[in-house]
């Protein structure tokens, strides 16, 4: 018999009984309850220690037992993560309307967890896939979904540019400059608004039956907006023509990009959406 475990179990049982005594009082009327608590606590404590601390004579496990245990823990973690992911509206929409992309997201998460990558690295992997998904569905989404999403994008650009123009550029051009973990830099309420808007973009974009319609007046609308920006920002408005020019002032570019989007959103809803869709189509 393991007398050390027995002693610890007895002490634990006494402690549990003491706590019950302080709460219930009335020792004479409740002696049966105290007895049950004492022996039950002892048994639970002893069983728990027996499970966690195996006697040396029973530790004849295969050499890969640790790896098997770790693999089981990883699998349980991934299953729990998948359940949590499915509860997020945006990812639920992805699973419903784009099963291939959803599976790709899960595969990337699995690879990252197995490699032992950080949460930030995992988010960056997912963010890159999401950016591709946005390019696919945003031009096809409903007018309201498109406008809601662009309003969130403006907030995100502003929050990132306020901290660093490099962050802003990575957000706007992930393929050229790499992705970032936006959870580290963007306000929680903005992140939630992003996910909510993204869910609408995916749902309405996937359900759309028509292609992006041509908008012959696009050039004229953009030209008028650029003229307005030039009146406010002078020659700095020309930064929009070549965002990847060597030595470009990235902070100014991000600031003027926000101004451009705001000018577009000032247009009547129909024209605003047509301009945005034409811009997205041209990418």
Q: How far is residue 18's CA from residue 54's CA, in Å, rounded to a whole number?
A: 29
Say what percent of the chain tops pLDDT 70.
72
pLDDT band at residue 28 under the 50/70/90 scheme: very low
| pLDDT for position 80 | 75
Say what percent of the chain tops pLDDT 90.
40
Q: How far is residue 219's CA from residue 12's CA, in Å, rounded to a whole number?
A: 79
Average the pLDDT over 188-205 and give the result: 92
pLDDT band at residue 64 under the 50/70/90 scheme: low
Q: Give the torsion through C-alpha atoms of 63, 116, 112, 72, to 10 deg.
A: 40
Lowest model confidence (mean pLDDT) among 66-80, 114-128, 182-196, 217-231: 66-80
pLDDT at 72 over 90: no
Tokens of 163: 């901290």
| CB of 242 closer than 8 Å to CB of 248 | yes
pLDDT at 7 over 50: no
| pLDDT for position 126 | 84
Average the pLDDT over 206-235 and give the result: 87
| CB of 210 closer than 8 Å to CB of 139 | no
**Three-class SS state of 59:** coil
> Residue 153: in which H helix or E strand, if any?
helix 143-163
| pLDDT for position 129 | 87
| pLDDT for position 210 | 67
What is the overall mean pLDDT for the chain?
78
pLDDT at 59 over 50: no
Q: pLDDT tens digits for 75-118?
A: 776 777 777 777 777 888 898 999 999 899 888 888 888 888 87
> Which carries the bigger pLDDT value, residue 268 or residue 61?
268
**Percentages helix, strand, coil for the chain, rounded to the nearest 5?**
80, 0, 20
pLDDT at 199 over 70: yes
Q: How far is residue 190's CA from residue 5's CA, in Å, rounded to a whole number?
A: 53
pLDDT band at residue 242 under the 50/70/90 scheme: very high
For 101, 162, 243, 277, the CA distances from 249, given in Å and listed in that order, are 36, 14, 9, 27
Lowest model confidence (mean pLDDT) among 113-122, 202-211, 256-265: 113-122
pLDDT band at residue 187 under the 50/70/90 scheme: very high
Q: How far is residue 63's CA from residue 61's CA, in Å, rounded to a whole number?
A: 6
Average the pLDDT over 163-181 and give the result: 89
Number of H helices, E strands in the chain: 13, 0
């Amino acid at each position: 018999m393991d007398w050390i475990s027995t002693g610890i179990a007895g002490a634990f049982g006494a402690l549990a009984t003491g706590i019950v005594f302080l709460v219930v009082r009335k020792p004479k009327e409740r002696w049966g309850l105290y007895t049950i608590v004492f022996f039950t606590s002892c048994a639970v404590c002893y069983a728990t220690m027996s499970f966690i601390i195996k006697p040396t004579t029973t530790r004849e496990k295969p050499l890969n037992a640790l790896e098997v245990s770790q693999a089981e823990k990883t699998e349980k973690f991934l299953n729990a993560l998948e359940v949590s992911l499915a509860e997020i509206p945006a990812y639920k929409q992805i699973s419903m309307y784009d099963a291939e992309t959803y599976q790709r997201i899960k595969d990337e998460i699995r690879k990252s967890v197995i490699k032992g990558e950080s949460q930030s690295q995992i988010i960056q992997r997912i963010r890159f896939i999401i950016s591709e998904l946005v390019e696919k569905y945003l031009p096809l989404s409903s007018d309201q979904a498109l406008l809601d999403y662009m309003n969130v994008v403006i907030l995100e650009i502003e929050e990132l540019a306020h901290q660093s123009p490099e962050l802003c550029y990575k957000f706007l051009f992930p393929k050229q400059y790499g992705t970032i973990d936006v959870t580290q830099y963007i306000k929680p309420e903005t992140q939630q608004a992003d996910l909510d808007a993204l869910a609408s973009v995916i749902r309405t974009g996937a359900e759309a039956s028509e292609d992006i319609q041509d908008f012959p007046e696009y050039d004229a609308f953009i030209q008028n907006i650029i003229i307005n920006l030039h009146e406010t920002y002078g020659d700095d408005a020309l930064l929009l023509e070549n965002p990847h020019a060597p030595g470009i002032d990235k902070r100014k570019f991000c600031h003027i990009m926000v101004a451009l989007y705001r000018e577009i959103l000032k247009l009547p809803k129909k024209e605003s959406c047509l301009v945005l869709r034409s811009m997205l189509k041209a990418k």
